[in-house]
Chains A and B, each alone.
Chain A
């Protein structure tokens, strides 16, 4: 009997002690869903978020990403897994601005705080699903306009330009194209042609060198990301046309030497490494009982030129 008693005392102690132990470990869990872990931009973002989690120390970070930016099916699976695990918040850069609306609605209905960052969900799709969700992210259109304007300033009115677009159908590609077009209209530039190179260096190199053949009078190029700007600059090197000016977007490390040499006129930094941690901060504030986020919470963007790398 004595043994029994002892056992029950132990059990009682354990039963009262356990919840406090659990509570100590029960930091809010944030599920970070990114578009891709396979490029510098998202890599920086993840590292920024990990450093942020360590620094704050009051939440647990679970991050998932995908092989490439268009693989939204695995992103969908990731969101569903987070719902099953019962995370406190999901912070997501959607791979498809329409396809991700339904699973995120499910997460919200399950009582999870959802913050949408980097790429905005489609307004119409949100409305159709009855989803009211704020967006924390950069103004891609405004950023592209900044880059476009610096090109317009360098060329002057009537300057002949072409646009190298990102993936057709991707929201940020569409926004950047609109931003370039805003700058073209404002600077009274002359747009000769606009084509996609699917964010790809090699394709941008091929497509641009052909565009240059068709329009030898090109004076400036607006590329929707730096990878494509690199391909364009290599084509200019090969064609011996250092007179043509190029602007890009993203400010990746590979363009730093090109900025320094003056081969890239300007690029745009949207501070990817801070973007995820900003969104996490906002999600945690809501989880902690703060007010609901509304509308578009704009994050920083900055034009980077030769002067910034010297």
Chain B
């Protein structure tokens, strides 16, 4: 058990220093977000209007949910390229259940959620198990899953769009509480749960440990396979939840949705300060990262920038975030 001292917050003395550093990291991203919000508030007319804030929160919800799962995977030094395709697969499976005739709305929604989340968990489990069992890079395994899930989604639906969900389910997708979209509150609750799991449980600390020093964790007598499978399965479960949110929000499920969504999720995690090599980062950072992407996408339209410039600037911000992270790493390591 001596080796566990290598793990963050494993000993009482290390704890305050580490959380101080983590705080510094998140504060940096938070400041960037505040500056961005200030910029758009000053340069555009409607940016801070309550309606627009509700819009932004709705717009970031799906990416945020996907990015929470992605944080788990990136923290152990992995990557999941299959989430966009899995979103489509989960959505068409969930959507098929949702449109079964003669079910009450409650039955349909609960069964559909179960089906969508189950599908996501299964795909995630396979991602984790295959990469851990054969020691394969998750980059390659999830690239395979990207095609498997997309193919499965097309096969299941015969490439057709599923629509006409129960009206109350549809209404739920645009429900607000004091101007805050309910779907965003769900995402926020998931952030809170993920934060607790990652920073307050042994399981979570071991995930950081694997990202930092896989060998140390293994020598300490922990099964790497279990934790890797768990991280990918969690990512899959979150894809399933995101698929339900997608359907509630847009009232369709199509096998061609979600193309490229994995890249936005990865961007949110990286902008949020989680290291691509694993072991460093937090889900709070991911929340801020997703907000930055959402604020940029929204603000640049209000600012009146063309689509092409908008894409260009989003790219610049991603690279800037990684460069800033390099400096922050040096400061916090000192």
Contact = CB atoms under 8 A, between A and B. Distances in A.
B174 A238 contact: yes
A270 interface: no
A55 to B, nearest CB: 21
A77 interface: no
Contact of A40 (B49, B59, B160, B297): B160
A201 interface: yes
A211 interface: yes
B327 interface: no
B174 A237 contact: yes
A39 B158 CA distance: 9
A204 B298 CA distance: 12
A218 to B, nearest CB: 13
Interface stretch (B194-202, B215-223, B300-308): B300-308
Given A234-B174, A257-B163, A214 B256 contact: no
A186 interface: no
Contacts of B103: none
B301 A214 contact: yes
Contact of A257 (B49, B55, B164, B302): B164
Nearest to A37: B159
A237 B44 CA distance: 25
A252 B162 CA distance: 11
B22 to A, nearest CB: 31
Given A213-B52, A237-B174, A195 B301 contact: yes
Q: Which of B45, B163, B257 has the most CB of A within 10 A?
A: B163
B122 interface: no
Interface residues of A, number: 34
A38 B252 contact: no
A130 B154 CA distance: 39
Given A206-B59, A209-B59, A213-B46, A230 B158 contact: no
A230 B159 contact: no
A1 to B, nearest CB: 61
Interface string A171-214: 00000000000000000000000011000111001110111011
A230 B160 contact: no
Contacts of A202: 62, 246, 249-250, 257
A196 B297 CA distance: 13
B161 A254 contact: yes
Given A205-B249, A239-B51, A214 B46 contact: yes
B302 A214 contact: yes
A231 B55 contact: no
Given A196-B307, A234-B249, A210 B174 contact: no
Nearest to B47: A213
A185 to B, nearest CB: 21
Contacts of A207: 301
Contacts of B259: 68, 200
Q: Which of A43, A211, A213 has the most CB of B within 10 A?
A: A213
B55 A213 contact: yes
B302 A195 contact: no
Interface in B47-90: 49, 51-52, 55, 58-59, 62
A67 interface: yes
5 contacts: A195-B307, A201-B257, A214-B46, A227-B254, A254-B252
Interface of A: 37-40, 42-43, 67-68, 168, 195-196, 200-202, 205-207, 209-211, 213-214, 216, 227, 230-231, 234, 237-239, 252-254, 257
Given A227-B161, A238-B173, A253-B163, 12 more contacts: A43-B158, A68-B256, A195-B301, A200-B257, A202-B246, A202-B250, A202-B257, A209-B59, A210-B52, A210-B59, A213-B298, A234-B251
The 6 closest A-B pairs by CB, nearest first: A238-B174, A254-B163, A206-B59, A213-B52, A210-B301, A43-B159
